[in-house]
Structure 1
Amino acid sequence: MKFNTGDTVDGDHCTVLTHEFFRCDDSFKEFARYAEQMIIQGQTREISYRTYNAYTNFIHHLYEFLMGCHARDAGNTEITNKKGEERTKIIEGYVMHHAQRIMDQYRDAIKNGTAPSWVNHISCYDVTVPAEFAKDFREFRNKAVGHVAHERASTLSLTEFYHKYHKYLYLLYTDSIHWWGKRSDEFPDLKEITEFSVMLSSENA
């Protein structure tokens, strides 16, 4: 469905984008908590299991959030009318573009002397995002959490994925906090999402 900035569909789409980013944020914080526990207490099967689940949930919600952003940029809930491999290339191109944009922004800020004090050395950012990043991001979103895939227990190493790509995922995540993260102490109205209730209504009590 096509839509325009500011119309009803766009408003609902932004509400859902906020929800998806909150889920991404929740998953990352859960991952950070279990990762810290693993570092302090040591690795066990249960801690690895919970850390794995939290990180793959982070991957899933970050990917879905980025796809939602792409849809809004395109003014089309389907992102594109293209199908199959052509559609995949468009989506992966969007992910690659924004990952590289963020790296370049940090690199340039360091060169210009305008980077915040907490940034890493310029060598962390003065790189080309690996060509297979978006493809692998999508594969792990699909097979490590989205679908029941046998590769999850055999050839799909989340450890390798983490060490190879985590900084790109993390920067894509933090790049969106200002606009889509929680902005005040009052929890936002997410319409049907925050109206969900298991309480009995008075007429059904």
Structure 2
Amino acid sequence: MKFQIGDDIDKALCVALQHEFMRCRDAFDDFAESATQLITLGQDRQRAYRTYNAYARFIHHLYEFLIGAIARDRCDTAPVHFEDAEREIMREAQRALTNRRDAIINGTAPAWENALSAYPEKVPPEFAREFRRHRNITVGHVKPERRNLSLTAFYTDYHHFLYVIFSASHFSWGSREGAFPDLKEVTDFSVMVVKTRGLAGEPRTRP
């Protein structure tokens, strides 16, 4: 469906985008906490499981956020073909990477920023394809490939590219000071008792 920036469809899409980016941030925070435990307490299956799941959710929500952003740029809610998605994600990754490098070069990067050598000049050509593939297999779909797909290798090779996209997006879609945002039905959700329906999850009495 076509729309214009500022109309009702666009406003609704912006709510969805904000919600998706907040989910992405929550997943990243969960991953950082779980990864810290994995490092400090040592490797075991349960900690690895939790860390894997948190990182897979981070990948999923960042990918879905980017797909939503592509739809907004196009002013069209029609499904984005995977080839178009990969092309646009590559463009966004390269833009974020170049901006990061330029900030380091011209001295406007924060004091905690990595050295320029931490960031290559170009995003690897397979990045967007691997991003989509790992999103699909680790969390999007239940596939036998999950058993042998190394999320460890993906993290090693591509995490810094995901992070520069995530960090750049935070300036526009991250949380702001003040009241928690109104996400309409998302933040209106409740499992409180409604009239005489009883407690949520309470089994109904059989006749």
**Over residues 88-127 of structure 1, what are the superposed CA-to-partner deviations in whole Å (9 max), with x where a residue is unaligned?**
2211011101111111112222222222222111122242
Alignment size in residue pairs: 198
**Over residues 140-198 of structure 1, what are the superposed CA-to-partner deviations in whole Å (9 max), with x where a residue is unaligned?**
111110110111102x1000000000001111111111221111242111001111111
Q: Is residue 139 of structure 1 aligned with residue 133 of structure 2? A: yes
- Find the counterpart in structure 1 of residue 182 from structure 2: 189
Most deviating of 95-104 and 109-118: 109-118
Relative to the length of structure 1, the TM-score reads: 0.92
Query: 1:42, CA displacement in angstroms?
Result: 0.3
Q: Is residue 39 of structure 1 aligned with residue 39 of structure 2? A: yes
Distance 1:102 1:179 in 2: 13
- Residue of 104, 108, 119 corresponding to 1:110: 104
Q: How does 1:26-175 map to 2 (within 5 A)?
A: 26-78=26-78, 80=80, 87-154=81-148, 156-175=149-168
CA contact (8 A) 1:104 1:126 kept: no
Relative to the length of structure 2, the TM-score reads: 0.91
Most deviating of 116-125 and 159-168: 116-125
Distance 1:183 1:108 in 2: 26
Indicate the RMSD between aligned Cα atoms, in angstroms: 1.3
Letter in 2 for 1:184: E
Distance 2:119 2:32 in 1: 22
Identical-pair percentage: 52
- Find the counterpart in structure 2 of residue 177 from structure 1: 170
Distance 1:40 1:32 in 2: 12
Letter in 2 for 1:138: R
Point out where structure 1 has 5 or more consecutive residues left out of the alignment. Answer: 81-86
Determine which structure has more spread, i.e. the larger CA radius of gyration: 2
CA contact (8 A) 2:100 2:164 kept: no
Distance 2:177 2:104 in 1: 30
SS in 1 for 2:96: helix
Query: 1:15, CA displacement in angstroms?
Result: 0.3
SS in 1 for 2:109: coil
